[in-house]
């Protein structure tokens, strides 16, 4: 039996622990706090399969499929909700990008179509559309409360035979491969580090350099709000989603590296005001903000994740550019298979970088300059 340690109890780590245990591995899941207490608990919970690149499309399709399979278990629920993204008049770069992306998405089997302003208004009257140049809608999409997902998968992992150790600050050892917890070295056949913003530091302590940069993003919730789909205003650089009786909105990406142990967990006043103005401009509603917070995502030089083996027996799953939660069920499944001898996702091989690369953090829609 293969003995595997998974470090990180977020969406990817908890799912990988479950998938490994289901495949017969002896698994221990370590989380430095409570399950889902890190970035997953601060995620937007938007899920869609609308990607123009073929690998991303396959990964996202599998992720949506698994979210649907898990829906209804415990407190976790996947609510079918179309995803709309749009560019405003005068923003020809993003309008062109949308027009170019949609046919490529359709080539990969995605249920995506272009809409003009009138078609968008006819379907979602709560959205302001008079300034919209072009919009697209992905029908195979939905929303969840992300904090309900890792506890479900951790419990499923335990039911499959895994051990779950919350409040365990683990460091990675390499000779032999294993983890150290509370001064005790524990050997494993393999270690998977899926610790979000702490991944780079954990691997560096084990002598492994990876091309990752944690960065800060922000979000807020409102007391009430109009009936809207999942919406990304590419020109404004913010998203909206239904959340209880109100909305969850955000982005507020800081395009510089953050310290994963010392960062502002509350949203900035400027972000809150700008997002309220964005909501008002897109929906006409002047909303009351109930909570505003920040979380950490991780960037890579090519904006694709690091997923796979970095050294004999040592694996990584990180660098999701803000899309980690929505792709977690598929990426975790793939890396679990690789830990047990499978191929994984070759395009995301972490050894494609040396770890010494200089790169900028870039977020938002990709457009050609």
Residue 272 · residue 219 · CB < 8 Å: no
Total number of residues shown for the chain:
369
The position carrying tokens 């900035």 is: 268
Residue 339 · residue 191 · CB < 8 Å: no
Residue 68 CB neighbours (<10 A): 15
CA distances, 95 to each of 54, 99, 100, 110, 331 (Å) = 21, 6, 9, 19, 30
Closest CA to 336 of 100, 6, 70: 6
The pLDDT of residue 49: 97
Per-residue exposure over 218-247, b if at least 16 CB sit within 10 Å of its own CB, e if not: bbbbbeebbebbbbbbbbbbbbbbbbeebb
72 SS3 class: coil
DSSP letters for 207-238? T-----EEEEEEEEEES------EEEETTTTE
CA distances, 247 to each of 39, 201, 276, 278 (Å) = 19, 35, 11, 12
The packing angle between helices 149-159 and 11-22, to 10°, is 20
Strands (E) located in the chain:
3-7, 26-30, 46-48, 79-80, 83-88, 112-115, 132-138, 141-143, 163-165, 170-174, 177-181, 184-187, 190-193, 213-222, 230-233, 238-243, 246-251, 289-299, 306-311, 314-318
The pLDDT of residue 368: 46
Residue 290 · residue 221 · CB < 8 Å: yes
CA distances, 281 to each of 178, 198, 234, 359 (Å) = 52, 37, 14, 34
pLDDT by residue for the chain (369 residues), tens only, comes to: 899 999 999 999 999 999 999 999 999 999 999 998 777 888 999 999 999 999 999 999 999 999 999 999 999 999 999 999 999 999 999 999 999 999 999 999 999 999 999 999 999 999 999 999 999 999 999 999 999 999 999 999 999 999 999 999 999 999 899 999 988 999 999 999 999 999 999 999 999 999 999 999 999 999 999 999 999 999 999 999 999 999 999 987 898 999 999 999 999 999 999 999 999 999 999 999 999 999 999 999 999 999 999 999 999 999 999 899 999 999 999 999 999 999 999 999 999 999 999 999 986 555 444
Domains of the chain (ranges, CATH numbers): 3-45+146-211+301-352 (3.50.50.60), 81-140+213-299 (3.30.9.10)
As a whole number of Å, the CA-based R_g of the chain is 20
Torsion on CA atoms 153, 290, 243, 246, rounded to nearest 10: 170
102 DSSP assignment:
H
d(CA 57, CA 71): 21
The pLDDT of residue 39: 78
pTM (two decimals):
0.95
141-143: strand order across its sheet: 46-48, 141-143, 79-80
Closest CA to 283 of 353, 208, 222: 222
Residue 53 · residue 24 · CB < 8 Å: no
Residue 28 · residue 178 · CB < 8 Å: no
d(CA 354, CA 158): 36
Maximum Cα–Cα distance for the chain, whole Å? Answer: 64
């Amino acid at each position: 039996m293969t003995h595997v340690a998974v470090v990180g109890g977020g969406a990817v780590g908890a799912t990988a622990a479950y998938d490994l245990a289901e495949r017969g591995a002896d698994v221990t899941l370590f989380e430095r706090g409570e399950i889902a207490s890190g970035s997953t608990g601060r995620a937007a919970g938007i899920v869609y399969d609308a990607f123009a690149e073929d690998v991303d499309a396959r990964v996202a399709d599998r992720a949506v499929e698994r979210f649907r399979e898990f829906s209804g278990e415990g407190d976790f629920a996947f609510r079918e909700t179309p995803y709309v993204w749009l560019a405003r008049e005068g923003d020809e770069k993003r309008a062109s990008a949308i027009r170019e992306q949609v046919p490529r998405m359709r080539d990969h089997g995605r249920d995506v179509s272009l809409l003009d302003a009138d078609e968008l208004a006819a379907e979602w009257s709560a959205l302001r559309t008079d300034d919209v140049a072009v919009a697209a809608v992905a029908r195979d999409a939905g929303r969840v409360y992300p904090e309900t997902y890792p506890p479900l998968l951790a419990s499923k992992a335990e039911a499959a035979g895994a051990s779950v150790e919350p409040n365990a600050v683990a460091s990675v050892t390499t000779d032999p491969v294993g983890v150290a917890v509370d001064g005790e070295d524990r050997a494993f056949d393999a270690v998977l580090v899926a610790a979000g913003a702490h991944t780079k530091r954990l691997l560096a302590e084990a002598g492994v350099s990876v091309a990752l940069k944690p960065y800060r993003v922000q979000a807020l919730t409102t007391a009430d709000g109009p009936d809207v789909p999942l919406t990304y205003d590419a020109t404004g650089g913010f998203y909206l989603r239904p959340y209880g009786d109100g909305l969850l909105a955000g982005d507020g990406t800081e395009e510089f590296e953050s310290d994963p142990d010392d960062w502002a967990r509350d949203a900035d006043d400027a972000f809150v005001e700008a997002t309220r103005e964005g909501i008002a401009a897109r929906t006409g509603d002047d909303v009351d903000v109930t909570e505003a917070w920040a979380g950490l995502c991780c960037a890579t030089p090519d904006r694709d994740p690091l997923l796979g083996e970095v050294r004999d027996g040592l694996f990584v799953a990180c660098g999701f550019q803000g899309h980690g939660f929505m792709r977690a069920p598929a990426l975790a499944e793939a890396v679990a298979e690789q830990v047990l001898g499978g191929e994984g996702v070759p395009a995301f091989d972490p050894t494609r970088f040396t770890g010494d690369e200089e790169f900028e953090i870039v977020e938002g829609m990709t457009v050609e300059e």
